[in-house]
Amino acid sequence: MKNVDKIKMKSEILATAFLGLAVRSIISLYSYSGFDSPPMHGDYEAQRHWQEITVNLGVGEWYTNSSSNDLMYWGLDYPPLTAYHSYFLGRIGKAIDPRFVELHESRGFQSEEHKRFMRATVVAADVLIYLPAILFLVFSIDKTFQSNDCLFLFTLIATYPGQILIDNGHFQYNNISLGLAAVAVGAILRKRLYTASFFFTLALNYKQMELYHSLPFFAYLLGECVSQKSFTSFASQISRIAAVVLATFAILWLPWLGSLQAALQVLHRLFPVARGVFEDKVANVWCAVNVVWKLKKHLRNDQMALVCIGCTLIAALPTNVLLFRQRTKAGFLLALFNTALAFFLFSFQVHEKTILLAALPSLFLMKWWPKEMIIFLQVSLFSMLPLLTKDELLVPALVSTVTFHLIFKCFNSKAKLNNEYLLKYVANISNILIICIVGAFLTIPAPSRFPDLWPLVISVISCGHFLLFFLWGNFQQFTCKIS
């Protein structure tokens, strides 16, 4: 490629990154989860409270209930890397204003200065981790600078409203776990297995929901090891991968490894079975089933957890067995998509925000199935509508969604599909249904007898879409010949 073309590509990528940051900055000006909502506030307060706890208490107390750490008030329930991140941000916040993290006294703390600080920490994670990670993955899929596919993918991923609205609006740090996972995926596609193992272990130790992506990584890495020509090569490669994973876990969990009870307490916080199969209305199978057959009346939480584990593994097994046998770029991304959907649809303690774990591979699958994936991403946003409305993020959600579709339209001429008519027919039905439900949700109050009517309708309709996409994804993986 000529130097002028490379400069042009770099300029376009830089402009796209600034566009993504501009959208994030604008959405950061809006409300967030739990604003003026005592006594628990919301996810914004949860992140602030974790900074308070980690800065003021010793490492051994972070996950333990005490007079100084009431676990009933946003107790830390993410893995150690999140705790370390909270500590790092807490130290910076304390240096700016000690009131941000004052033990006990800072609960529910709200000020414009604190909001700017918290919002800046999310944008910093976008700049330092998420955007570079997705760019790395984009070029891992397509290394040819001459194609506009890279710019197409990067632009859409950088402006996907789902991740932006949840992180920069609602308030979370999914950009860190998703960014680390994206680096791991890119490393897999580049055959850098040890790098992939390291970064995925980091992602898993930032958010345990990265288990949604774990089976495809395990299947791919094991398949690569088994495919070695000799037992010596197999043993060498698998032992090195195991060493990377175990060493990373050991370093991150070191403060709790001196006591079995301490380690088990952390695990207990990460997997809270007592909470039940779901909390708010979520677009998965169990919430839909609960409409006609009340799960809590027939199954205890521990029984339901076993049912969820069994159903999730059964749903995820075919795609990962095939990946173990046939390892291609598209096949790996499809396995990530199918497995994440299997976990979302059937696993225990699913939140509406975890659809982002299926959205990540779907964004990169746009290289092969752009129109199919744009429908999925549209439904992913639709499924989060009650949450975004609750957080007063409806206006930025609608504007960013329209912008996202306009950007997609600019590249739409590149999409080539075999079943154009059928897809258009299905898309039209889906769009009409979603538009009608959104209109009803915004204009028709739910009857007093059924106050959760519209969130339930949205979750059931979204669940139906996700089930169809789960079947579609498995069909594509077993039939497509794309490398």
Per residue in 123-161, pLDDT tens? Answer: 999 999 999 999 999 999 876 545 677 888 899 999 999
* Mean pLDDT over each residue of the chain, to the nearest integer: 91
pLDDT band of residue 280 (cuts 50, 70, 90) is confident
User: Mean pLDDT across the stretch 351-371?
Assistant: 93
Model pLDDT, residue 481 = 75
In the block, which residue shows the tokens 């039209």? 428
Q: Give a yes or no: residue 252 inside a domain.
A: no
And the tokens for 334?
A: 């499809």
pLDDT score of 344 more than 60:
yes
Predicted TM-score (pTM) of this structure: 0.94
Model pLDDT, residue 276 = 75
User: Mean pLDDT across the stretch 272-290?
Assistant: 84
pLDDT score of 271 more than 50:
yes
**CA 399, chain centre distance (Å):** 22
Q: Give a yes or no: residue 57 inside a domain.
A: no
| Amino acid, single-letter form, for residue 290 | N
Model pLDDT, residue 152 = 85
Q: How far apart are CA 357 and CA 377, in angstroms?
A: 12
Dump pLDDT digits (tens) for 201-245.
999 999 999 999 999 999 999 999 999 989 999 999 999 999 999
**DSSP label at residue 169:** I
User: Mean pLDDT across the stretch 442-451?
Assistant: 90
Q: Give a yes or no: residue 45 inside a domain.
A: no
Please report which residue ranges of 64-173 form alpha helices under DSSP H: 80-96, 112-125, 131-141, 149-158, 161-164
Q: Give a yes or no: residue 60 inside a domain.
A: no
pLDDT score of 357 more than 90:
yes
- What's the domain range around 321? 3-30+111-227+272-479
And the tokens for 253?
A: 């969990």
Of residues 34 and 183, more confidently modeled? 183
CB atoms inside a 10 Å sphere around CB 121:
17
**DSSP label at residue 271:** S
User: Mean pLDDT across the stretch 156-178?
Assistant: 96
Dump pLDDT digits (tens) for 380-438.
999 999 999 999 999 999 999 999 988 888 876 544 444 566 777 888 888 899 999 99
Q: Give a yes or no: residue 179 inside a domain.
A: yes
Q: Which helix (H) or strand (E) holds 466?
A: helix 453-479
Q: Which helix (H) or strand (E) holds 27?
A: helix 3-28
SS3 state of residue 122: helix
pLDDT score of 366 more than 60:
yes
SS3 state of residue 97: coil
Model pLDDT, residue 413 = 54
Q: Give a yes or no: residue 66 inside a domain.
A: no
Lowest average pLDDT, out of 48-52, 150-154, 170-174, 443-447, goes to 150-154
Structurally, the chain folds into a number of domains equal to: 1
Please report which residue ranges of 293-419 form alpha helices under DSSP H: 295-298, 301-325, 329-346, 356-364, 370-383, 385-390, 394-410
Compute the C-alpha angle 176/35/160, nearest 5°.
Answer: 40
